Amino acid sequence: MLHLKSKLFAAGAVAIGVALAAVPVKAEQFINVLTGGTSGVYYPLGVALSEIYGKSIKDVRTQVQATKASVENLNLLQQGKGEIGFALGDSVKAAWEGDTEAGFSKKLDKLRAIAAIYPNYVQIVAAKESGISSFTDLKGKSLSVGAPKSGTELNARAIFGALGMSYQDLGKTEYLPFGESVELIKNRQLDATLQSAGLGVASIKDLAVSLPITVVAVPADVAEKLGAPFQAATIPAGTYEGQSADVPTLAITNILVTNSDVSDDLAYEMTKQLFDNLDQMTAAHAAAKAISADSAAKGLPIPLHPGAERYYKEKGLM
């Protein structure tokens, strides 16, 4: 009898083992959020996004990576070294087309969109004492155009080209991130900085409270010459300390990008949780006030990820 019980127990244990083996164990998913320099807008928004995903998506571990922004983010996404990243619309378009001059050795065919988010404004700020008051006044002066082949630097190159100018017209060209550019202006080692970022970017706020500045206009016809995704825009008076008037400039939409290897379910959750937690994004940076699900699937230069598409269809936005 004892022997029979032992055999039954053993058989039961094997059956339980088989049953347990048949239940799939959900592997922990990892989301690496690719941002930009720590003094820009991408970084605080990326930190907020990482916290949202970590709290709201089951079995997910998150990380925030500070990068050189758009171009680096897009190349990392293509290589599968990130699950979501911030990038400027013109950089995304160049990546999809495989524009080698923009920093893409081939067409980045794995890129997929999660959402068009807020616009970046081209913000050219000079120390008032430099005497720069218009774009053409930059001739012979020193200007930082952003990190090499960053989204900001690609914007700078496009604007110079549209105005029949080049970096050779400058007295000196610096290729520096936002924070370093501002420090050089404070130390009287640089005349001006061009930064493509959300309004109220921390680096320019810091500069404006440190010394008198001039916010330099980008002529309105530049948007017409460059075409989509560039558009005419305005930096409202009072955006920065000492800025007493509206300043015309350009805006380019930012896009949250993922890659085709990310599962449909994860892409769906990344899209849903972004829009379910916009208050947390806005608390991280005011630029997020412009993020809206109504416009997030419009005017994208790359295909939507099927998971993101499912979200917009559920909401009746496609």
pLDDT per position as a tens digit, 173-190: 999 999 999 999 999 999
* Main-chain phi, psi angles of 228, to 5 degrees: -60, 145
Q: What are the structural domain ranges in the chain?
A: 29-118+254-314, 120-252
* pLDDT above 70 (res 125): yes
Give me the percent of the chain exceeding a pLDDT of 90: 82
Tallying the residues shown for the chain, one arrives at 318
Give the pLDDT of residue 257: 98
* pLDDT above 50 (res 18): no
* pLDDT above 60 (res 4): no
Q: Does domain 29-118+254-314 have CATH number 3.40.190.10?
A: yes
**pLDDT class for 39, splitting at 50, 70, 90?**
confident
Give the pLDDT of residue 288: 96
The reported pTM is: 0.80
Domains 29-118+254-314 and 120-252 alike in fold: yes
**pLDDT class for 7, splitting at 50, 70, 90?**
very low
pLDDT per position as a tens digit, 245-298: 999 999 999 999 999 999 999 999 999 999 999 999 999 999 999 999 999 999
* pLDDT above 60 (res 82): yes
The number of beta carbons lying within 10 Å of the beta carbon of residue 30 is 11
Which residues are CB-contacts of 293 (< 8 A; sequence separation ≥ 6)? 115, 275, 312, 315, 317
Dihedral in degrees, nearest 10, Cα atoms 44, 45, 51, 55: 160
* pLDDT above 50 (res 16): no
More confident residue, 12 or 29: 29
Q: Angle of helix 178-186 relative to helix 202-210, nearest 10 degrees?
A: 10
Mean pLDDT of 74-100: 96
Q: Which CATH architecture has domain 120-252?
A: 3-Layer(aba) Sandwich (3.40)
- Residues forming a β-bridge with 256: 86, 115
Q: Is 3 exposed, middle or buried (0-12, 13-18, 19+ CB in 10 A)?
A: exposed
Give the pLDDT of residue 150: 85
**pLDDT class for 23, splitting at 50, 70, 90?**
very low
* pLDDT above 90 (res 17): no
- Mean of the per-residue pLDDT values for the chain? 91
